[in-house]
C-alpha cells in the first residue's frame, strides 16, 4: 500500500456512520450516496432509474413515493396509498397505529385500510405472495425498515479503496472494485480493497493488509479465532468524545499504560507504545 493510501486510511474517522436513504431493487441493497453515489449508473446501467428508490419518512415511518415506485419492478396493485401533502406514498411495512377513518382490513396485518385496497404495506403483500418479480428485494427492504436500518446513520464503513481513497460500507457498494475500477486487472482491483473490522469500539485492519513497518510499536488486538488486528485510531464514544481510561480493555501482555501520543487518553496492556496507527504516525 502506498504512503498516500496509508495516510488516507488512518486519517479517516471510522466512527462516522452512513445512512442508507436509498434502496436498490436490482441487488436488494441499501444504498448510501456517500458510499456509492452513482449506484444505478455504475452497477445496473441496463436498468431503469427507478430501480433505485428513495426511502422517505411519512409520519415517522419509511415509505416510497407511489408514483416513482411504479418503475421498481414489483407489482404494486391493491397496496394502499397514503397521502402526505400533495403526494401519495406506499408504506414499506405496517406501523402500530390504525387509521380510524377506514373500516376495511388488510388481509395480512388486519390494520384498517382504505376501501378498494387489499394490502396495508409492501411487506404485507410480499409476505403472502408466493411468487413475483422483485419479491425477495421487497422482503429485504421490509426487514431493513423494521430494524431501523434505513435513513438514520447506522451503517459503519468497513472497506477502504486504495485506488480512489474512499472509505465505504460494503452493503452499499458490494462490487466497488469491479464496477468503479474495471479498467484495472481483476486481481489488482480486488487487492485494492482493504477490510476494516469494528470490534469493541475499535476500527482495525487485519494483519497483513498494511506493511509490517507501518504497524511497528502499535498495539495488536488478538481475537479468539487467532486473528490479529491493528487499530486505525483511538476509540470514540457515540458523541465523538474519547473514551475514559476506565472503559478501556485490550487483550495483551504486560502492565497497563497510556498511549504515548500526547493528548491520547487510551490505556492498554502490552509492550507497544501506541494504541493505534494514527497515534504512531502523528509523532513520526
Which of residues 97 and 274 earns the better pLDDT score?
274
Name the residue ranges covered by the structural domains of the chain.
1-16+197-284, 19-146, 158-195
Could you tell me which of 20, 21, 22, 27 has the C-alpha nearest to residue 47?
Answer: 27
pLDDT digits (tens, 9 = 90+) for 261-270: 998 989 988 8
Give residue for cell 466512527. Answer: 15
Cell of 234: 483511538
φ/ψ of residue 13, rounded to 5: -85, 100
Q: pLDDT exceeding 70 applies to what percent of the chain? A: 89
pLDDT reported for residue 36 = 81
Least confident range of 8-22, 87-101, 172-186, 234-248: 234-248
CA distance linking residue 122 with residue 71, whole number of Å: 14
* Residue 116 confidence (pLDDT) above 90: yes
* Sequential DSSP letters for 68-133: GGGGGSS--TTBPPEEETTEEEEESS--S---TT--EE-TTT--EE-TT--BSSHHHHHHH----T
Q: What is the mean pLDDT of the chain?
A: 86
pLDDT digits (tens, 9 = 90+) for 186-212: 666 667 899 999 999 999 999 999 999
CA distance linking residue 76 with residue 119, whole number of Å: 10
pTM of the model: 0.71
* Residue 247 confidence (pLDDT) above 50: no
Least confident range of 39-48, 66-75, 78-87: 39-48
Max distance between CA atoms of the chain, in angstroms, equals 71
* Residue 242 confidence (pLDDT) above 70: no
Amino acid at each position: 500500500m502506498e504512503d498516500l493510501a496509508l495516510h488516507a486510511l488512518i486519517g479517516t474517522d471510522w466512527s462516522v456512520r452512513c445512512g442508507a436513504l436509498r434502496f436498490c431493487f436490482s441487488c436488494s441493497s441499501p444504498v448510501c450516496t456517500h458510499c456509492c453515489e452513482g449506484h444505478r449508473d455504475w452497477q445496473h446501467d441496463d436498468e431503469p432509474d427507478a430501480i433505485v428508490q428513495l426511502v422517505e419518512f411519512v409520519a415517522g415511518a419509511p415509505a416510497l413515493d407511489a408514483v416513482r415506485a411504479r418503475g421498481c419492478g414489483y407489482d404494486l396493485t391493491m397496496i394502499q396509498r397514503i397521502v402526505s401533502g400533495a403526494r401519495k406514498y406506499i408504506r414499506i411495512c405496517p406501523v402500530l397505529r390504525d387509521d380510524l377513518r377506514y373500516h376495511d382490513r388488510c388481509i395480512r396485518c388486519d390494520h384498517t385500510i382504505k376501501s378498494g385496497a387489499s394490502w396495508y404495506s409492501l411487506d404485507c403483500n410480499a409476505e403472502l405472495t408466493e411468487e413475483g418479480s422483485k419479491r425477495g428485494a421487497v422482503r429485504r427492504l421490509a426487514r431493513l425498515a423494521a430494524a431501523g436500518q434505513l435513513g438514520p446513520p447506522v451503517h459503519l464503513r468497513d472497506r477502504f479503496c486504495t485506488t480512489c481513497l474512499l472509505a465505504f460500507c460494503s452493503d452499499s457498494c458490494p462490487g466497488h472494485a469491479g464496477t468503479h475500477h474495471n479498467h484495472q486487472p481483476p486481481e489488482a482491483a480486488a487487492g485494492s480493497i482493504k477490510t476494516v473490522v469494528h470490534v469493541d469500539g475499535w476500527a482495525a485492519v487485519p494483519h497483513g493488509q498494511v506493511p509490517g513497518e507501518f504497524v511497528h510499536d502499535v498495539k495488536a488486538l488478538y481475537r479468539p479465532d487467532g486473528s490479529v488486528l491493528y487499530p486505525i485510531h483511538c476509540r470514540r464514544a457515540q458523541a465523538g468524545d474519547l473514551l475514559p481510561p476506565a472503559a478501556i480493555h485490550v487483550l495483551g501482555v504486560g502492565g497497563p499504560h497510556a498511549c504515548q501520543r500526547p493528548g491520547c487518553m487510551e490505556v492498554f496492556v502490552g509492550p507497544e507504545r501506541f494504541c493505534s496507527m494514527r497515534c504512531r504516525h502523528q509523532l513520526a
